């Protein structure tokens, strides 16, 4: 009986090492709710966890107190920044919040973080991050634009999606569609059980079309992060030098297991 | 910390069972009617809306107690809402409020004792 070469203990160990160093994945602002669809049997509040992380490798970074954290419901935006509670998320400072839900409808949670200095990229990073919670069976308001510096406005309703469904969104920058914007896609490897055959697959990259619309089909259930990245026209100063400022429009969407 | 439904519905076991049965029997989510209820100024306010955003202009509202016994039947107003006084017993035990807008459009809201207490607190 012939022996097939076993790709792999060494390769797997090498990959695991590479992943453990946090080199493979992308940065993501994260807002993860306890559920994207709050039913009446689930209680009357939703828990939210805010972080800045490499979601596939579960590698946390420091999230300073955000410049803003808000919820928008039925056209009204409420500032929640002062309600955030310090927490440790993926081993680093982050925040949590238990937000009471009083009425049905879609609640859009949005975070504007402080710019994060990333020496490895020699740049500052600001990820305008959103997620959505539908409460008590109503879903209106999921497609509104919040007016962030840059944001992804969903074309697919950003909850109630099956694993394998495509997700579509429009990338906006200063309120206008961003043609051919680059969108990075990464899975929140919450249980730490997902593996990849190559570190190239930790973060997948797609491009929007000429109208700023992108499409991605998820292979598995769970939370998926979409980050449309742009370099700001205005650099930021660091130790007397001008540095690039990466602006990210991030949206977190949960896909449910079929059946 | 997120409150669980079990916590909210402490002492509300019969309605929990009714809720489970209701999911099985009524097909509550199949026809796009959504029902919500809350307490305001000592009254129970019932709101019904289709998933399209439109409101049913007529329908029957059935009120069940914590043993899931029908205690009242009323008509939905033309604006898809209904208000009725909160009685003493219901304050402690909660209610299941079902709206039947016809043609299979039926859904309910479980107004728990915790919901009632929160509504009474908010109203002063």
Domain ranges of chain B: 5-123
Domain holding A210, by residue range, is: 9-256
Q: Give the distance, in angstroms, between the CA of residue B118 and the centroid of all CA atoms in the same chain.
A: 15
CA distance A85 to chain B (A): 11
Rounded to two decimals, the ipTM of the complex is 0.80
Category of B41 on φ-ψ map: left (φ > 0), alpha (ψ -120 to 50) or beta: left
Contact B51 A98 (CB under 8 A): no
What SS3 state is found at A77? Answer: strand
Question: Which one, of A84, A48, A47, lies nearest residue A65 by Cα?
Answer: A84
CA distance A33 to chain B (A): 11
CB–CB of A48/A96 below 8 Å? yes
Question: pLDDT averaged over consecutive 10-residue blocks of chain A (259 residues)?
Answer: 39 43 74 98 97 96 97 97 98 98 96 96 96 95 96 98 98 97 98 95 97 98 97 95 97 96
Domain assignment present for residue A235? The answer is yes
> What are the two backbone dihedrals, phi and then psi, of residue A45, each rounded to the nearest 5 degrees?
-155, 165
Q: What is the pLDDT of residue B123?
A: 74
Encoded tokens for B119: 């509504």
What SS3 state is found at A158? Answer: coil
CB–CB of A206/A169 below 8 Å? no
What SS3 state is found at B117? Answer: helix
Element containing residue B83 per DSSP (H, E): strand B81-85
CA distance A117 to chain B (A): 32
Of the partner residues A41, A103, A137, the one whose CB lies closest to the CB of residue B5: A41
Q: How far is CA A147 from CA A86, A150, A176, B26, in A?
A: 27, 8, 10, 41
Q: Which residue of B has its CA nearest to A139?
A: B51
Q: Which CATH architecture has domain B5-123?
A: Sandwich (2.60)
Of the partner residues A43, A136, A137, the one whose CB lies closest to the CB of residue B3: A43
> What are the two backbone dihedrals, phi and then psi, of residue A136, each rounded to the nearest 5 degrees?
55, 40
Q: Which positions in chain A touch B53 (Cβ < 8 Å)? A: 140
Rounded Cα distance between A61 and A248, Å, is: 16
Contact B34 A104 (CB under 8 A): yes
Q: Which positions in chain B touch A47 (Cβ < 8 Å)? A: 1-2
Which residue bears the tokens 């540095």? A243
Q: What is the pLDDT of residue B88?
A: 80
Question: Which one, of A147, A237, A45, lies nearest residue B7 by Cα?
Answer: A45
Which residues pair with residue A214 across a beta bridge?
Answer: A169
Q: Which residue of A has its CA nearest to B122?
A: A102
Domain assignment present for residue A4? The answer is no
DSSP label at residue B121: H
CB–CB of A207/A201 below 8 Å? no
Domain assignment present for residue A82? The answer is yes
Contact B36 A103 (CB under 8 A): yes
Rounded Cα distance between A114 and A121, Å, is: 17
- Cα atoms found within 13 Å of the Cα of residue A74, Cβ hemisphere only: 8
Q: What is the pLDDT of residue B31?
A: 53
Domain assignment present for residue A137? The answer is yes
Q: Which positions in chain A touch B115 (Cβ < 8 Å)? A: 44
pLDDT tens, position by position, B7-60: 444 445 545 544 544 443 344 444 589 999 999 999 999 999 998 889 999 999
CB–CB of B90/B12 below 8 Å? no
Domain assignment present for residue A178? The answer is yes
34-93 in chain A: CB under 8 A from chain B? 34, 40-47
DSSP label at residue B35: E
CB–CB of A152/A251 below 8 Å? yes
Question: Which one, of A160, A146, A151, A127, lies nearest residue A72 by Cα?
Answer: A146
What SS3 state is found at A67? Answer: coil
Structural domain count of chain A: 1
Contact B19 A41 (CB under 8 A): yes
* pLDDT(B86) > 60: yes
Category of B80 on φ-ψ map: left (φ > 0), alpha (ψ -120 to 50) or beta: left
* pLDDT(B90) > 90: no
Q: What is the pLDDT of residue A85?
A: 98
Domain assignment present for residue A144? The answer is yes
Please give the biggest Cα pair distance in chain B: 40
Rounded Cα distance between B67 and B65, Å, is: 5
* pLDDT(B2) > 60: no
- Model confidence, pTM: 0.87
Contact A98 B2 (CB under 8 A): yes
Q: What is the pLDDT of residue B29?
A: 46
Encoded tokens for A102: 């009083």
Rounded Cα distance between B56 and B76, Å, is: 8
Distant-in-sequence, close-in-space partners of B83: CB < 8 Å, separation ≥ 6: B43, B44, B45, B46
């Amino acid at each position: 009986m012939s022996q097939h070469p076993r790709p792999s203990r060494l390769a797997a160990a090498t990959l695991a090492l590479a992943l453990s160093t946090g080199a493979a994945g992308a940065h993501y602002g994260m807002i993860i709710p306890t559920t994207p669809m709050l039913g009446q049997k689930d209680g009357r509040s939703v828990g939210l966890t805010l972080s800045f992380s490499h979601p596939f490798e579960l590698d946390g970074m420091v999230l300073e107190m955000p410049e803003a954290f808000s919820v928008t419901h039925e056209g009204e935006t409420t500032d929640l920044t002062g309600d955030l509670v310090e927490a440790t998320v993926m081993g680093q400072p982050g925040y949590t919040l238990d937000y009471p839900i009083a009425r049905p409808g879609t609640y859009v949670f949005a975070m504007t973080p402080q710019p994060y200095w990333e020496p490895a990229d020699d740049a500052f990073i600001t990820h305008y991050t959103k997620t959505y919670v539908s409460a008590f069976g109503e879903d209106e308001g999921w497609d509104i634009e919040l007016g962030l510096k840059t944001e992804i406005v969903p074309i697919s309703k950003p909850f109630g999606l099956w694993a394998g469904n495509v997700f579509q969104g429009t990338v906006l920058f200063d309120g206008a569609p961003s043609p051919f914007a680059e969108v990075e896609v990464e899975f929140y490897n919450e249980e730490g059980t997902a593996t990849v055959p190559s570190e190239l697959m930790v973060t997948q990259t797609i491009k929007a079309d000429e109208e700023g619309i992108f499409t991605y089909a998820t292979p598995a259930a769970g939370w998926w992060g979409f980050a449309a990245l742009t370099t700001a026209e205005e650099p930021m100063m660091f130790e007397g030098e001008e540095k690039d400022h990466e602006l990210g429009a991030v949206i977190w969407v949960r896909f449910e297991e079929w059946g | 910390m997120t409150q669980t439904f079990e916590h909210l519905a402490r002492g509300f076991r019969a309605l929990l069972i009714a809720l489970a049965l209701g999911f099985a029997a009524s097909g509550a989510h199949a026809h796009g009617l959504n029902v919500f209820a809350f307490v305001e100024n000592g009254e129970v306010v019932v709101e019904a809306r289709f998933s399209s955003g439109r409101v049913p202009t007529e329908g029957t509202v059935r009120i069940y107690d914590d043993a899931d016994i029908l205690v009242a039947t009323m008509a939905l107003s033309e604006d898809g809402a209904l208000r009725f006084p909160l009685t003493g017993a219901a304050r402690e035990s909660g209610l299941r409020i079902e709206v039947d807008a016809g043609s299979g459009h039926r859904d309910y809201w479980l107004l728990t004792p915790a919901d009632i207490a929160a509504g009474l607190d908010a109203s002063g």
